[in-house]
Amino acid sequence: MAERISTPSRTREIIEANGFAFKKNFGQNFLIDSNVLDNIAECAEITKEDCVLEVGPGIGSLTQVLAEYAGKVVAVEIDKTLIPILSNTLADCDNVEILNQDILKTDVQAIIDEKNNGKPIKVVANLPYYITTPILMDLLEKGYPVDTITVMVQKEVAERMQAQPKNKEYGALSVAVQYYCDANLDMIVPPACFMPRPKIDSAVITLKVLPERKVQTKDEKLFFHLVKCAFGQRRKTLLNGLFNLGEFGLSKDELTAVIESLGWDSRVRGETLGLQEFAQLTDAMYDKLHG
Ligand code: SAM
């Protein structure tokens, strides 16, 4: 086994030898704890059968470990100054390919087709926290063949993903994640496991992408639009959220009638609605708009 990149001394050595400066705007907090890295690969249940997509390899700490467990690793890194460093640190890993791109502009389907013959991949990452939600939403909404997503995120974001109605953490991200996936909190990771240290605790969460959506609706786009309206004005009622943000062309009385047709109080708040209720609301709105 090659020497691990992820010890604090080796990480410091690589950074200093290459004159690398951490870029805050790219969310660069590198992992320096080998046990955490093994735990991530084990929680993701990576085997030699797997093709793994890694977002943001940094200097390759997680990539190196993933390469030990996986058949193939494709890692997408936006920071061009890291590419020559990665060529060195991962020189011994012949099953790793690095792409110098922005993950939000990457054709993930093409990677899956070219590198894994269209078969489902696993996504593993210590995510850049400034774009956690767009990355996850992109992976989920586009419906790529992805088995599981195992990611390091801010602890508070992991809690939001698993939050249930009426909880203060519950919001649009909770609904989206739970609509597409079963989520499992794998571990809490303290700031000391990173260089530089972030200010808050982090968590690793595994999202198992379900073959079918958790609830069925007549119109998925409308479902997510309604979710956005419901949470767009936190302390307002669902009715006001739909009226102010929905742009449905319906009067307040018409929207009240839709809500009451479901047997709900018209003063109901969005944060009390679960997936099933959002699906019911979607179908009632769909019938009103198309009926
Ligand atoms: N995987 C490494 C580790 O665990 O030590 C680094 C993780 S660091 C939290 C996030 C990484 O994502 C950085 O290397 C950063 O440059 C990269 N990154 C930030 N924005 C990105 C984007 N839009 N597309 C691809 N990589 C990005």
Cβ–ligand 1 distance for 33 under 6 Å, the answer no
Q: Is the CB of 195 under 6 A from ligand 1?
A: no
Kindly list the domain boundaries of the chain, sorted by start residue: 8-209, 220-290
Contact 163, 92 (CB under 8 A): no
62 lines ligand 1 (CB under 6 A): yes
Closest C-alpha residue for ligand 1 atom 3: 30
Ligand 1 neighbourhood includes 89 CB (under 6 angstroms): no
CATH, range 220-290: 1.10.8.100
CATH class of 8-209: alpha beta
Q: Which residue has a Cα nearest atom 19 of ligand 1?
A: 26
Ligand 1 contact via 29 beta carbon (within 6 Å): yes
Please identify which residue in the block is written with the tokens 């009385």.
253
Cβ of 20 less than 6 Å from ligand 1: no
CA distances, 178 to each of 90, 117, 215 (Å): 36, 28, 10
Give the rounded distance of the alpha carbon of 181 from its chain centre: 11
pTM of this prediction exceeds 0.75: yes
Task: Please choose, from the candidates 176, 177, 159, the residue with its C-alpha nearest in 3D space to the C-alpha of residue 168.
Answer: 159
Amino acid (one-letter) located at 119 = K
Provide the residue-wise pLDDT of the chain in tens; the chain has 291 residues. Answer: 678 999 999 999 999 999 999 999 999 999 999 999 999 999 999 999 999 999 999 999 999 999 999 999 999 999 999 999 999 999 999 999 999 999 999 999 999 999 999 999 999 999 999 999 999 999 999 999 999 999 999 999 999 999 999 999 999 999 999 999 999 999 999 999 999 999 999 999 999 999 999 999 999 999 999 999 999 887 789 999 999 999 999 999 999 999 999 999 999 999 999 999 999 999 999 999 998
6 C-beta closer than 6 A to ligand 1: no
Task: Please identify, by atom number, the ligand 1 atom nearest to the C-alpha of residue 23.
Answer: 16
The dihedral built from the CA positions of residue 39, 40, 44 and 47, taken in this order, carries a sign that is negative
CB of 100 closer than 6 angstroms to any ligand 1 atom: no
User: Residue with the nearest Cα to atom 14 of ligand 1?
Assistant: 58
Please give the pLDDT value at position 1.
Answer: 61
48 C-alpha vs ligand 1 centroid, how far in Å? 24
